[in-house]
Amino acid sequence: MKNSAIYPGSFDPLTNGHLDILERAAKMFEKVYVTVAVNNKKTAVFSGDERVSLIEEAIQDKEWKNKIEIEQFTGLLIDYARKKKVNILLRGVRQISDFEYEFRMALTNRRLAPEIDTLFLMPDEQLTFISATIVKEVAAWGGDLSSFVPKHVAKALRKKYA
């Protein structure tokens, strides 16, 4: 589909950084498929359904919410993209340390599917240190999550780590 993009990730859970990227993407594209990777090598704290619900709740009051479609996927991202007939993958890059992994992933995807390109977006600079991994660590030790994730995500995290 023209003027659409896929924003893939583990989203375990959604952070304010993801939300920032999603908002930027929604301004650029008519349709953004948020694809929640399940069954990849990472062990997730939240189930696929839980991760989708947390994203749904985070965007429910946004004026751009109708541009967003959230789905779970397993397997290769390029297969999913081809099925959707979308040839742009969006990834957020926060800092140089993200770049090596992202570069490898983008070039692997390009080798597998030359018609698909990866577009990198930068989040607001205030959010560049936030990652789902760090957020889970803060949650595990009972820290204040209010500046890292939306309220309902913080609540879900506190429940997981209670």
Does 108 participate in binding ligand PNS (rule CB under 6 A)?
yes
Instruction: Provide the residue type at 143 as one letter.
Output: G
Does 10 participate in binding ligand PNS (rule CB under 6 A)?
yes
CA dist 30 and 64 (Å) reads 9
Closest to 16 in 3D by CA, of 96, 141, 129? 129
Q: Which is nearer to ligand PNS, 25 or 142 (CB)?
A: 25
- Which residues, numbered 63-102, are part of the site for ligand PNS (CB under 6 A)? 76-77
CA dist 75 and 64 (Å) reads 28
φ and ψ at residue 110, rounded to 5 degrees = -70, -40
To ligand PNS, the closest distance from the beta carbon of 63 in angstroms equals: 26
Q: Which is nearer to ligand PNS, 39 or 144 (CB)?
A: 39
Query: Which residues bind to ligand PNS, rule: CB under 6 A?
Result: 8-10, 37, 40, 42, 76-77, 105, 108-109
